[in-house]
Amino acid sequence: MNIYSLSEKYDKLAGAAVRHSMIQIKDNEQILIEECKEVLLFDENTIRLRLSFGTVTINGLDMQMRNYSERGAIIKGKLHSIGFDDNGKE
């Protein structure tokens, strides 16, 4: 087995690995979400993100998203509710 075929097999295995999202809530002012896949909706009152298990919707006032990447996002504002939907599951 050469290094190129080994590299291809590793890439396929790494892509197939199930990743979990971690969500941390700090009071009603900040949420840290890891493993974001896509921003589905963003406005000052609602943010909806696609995660590895489905979608998460965060509702509040003056919502701001900071440091968005595939690794995660920080959401700030006056948080009112958070909801989950597994219909968008990959």
pLDDT in tens, 22-44: 899 999 999 999 888 889 999 99
Whether 50 and 40 have beta carbons less than 8 Å apart is answered as yes
Residues 6+ apart with CB under 8 A from 53: 20, 21, 84, 86, 89
Give 62-76 pLDDT, tens digit per residue.
999 988 877 789 999
Q: What is the DSSP letter of 87?
A: G
Distance CA 88, CA 54 (A): 4
Task: Indicate the residue type of 7.
Answer: S
pLDDT at 60: 95
Q: Percent of the chain having pLDDT more than 70?
A: 81
pLDDT at 21: 78
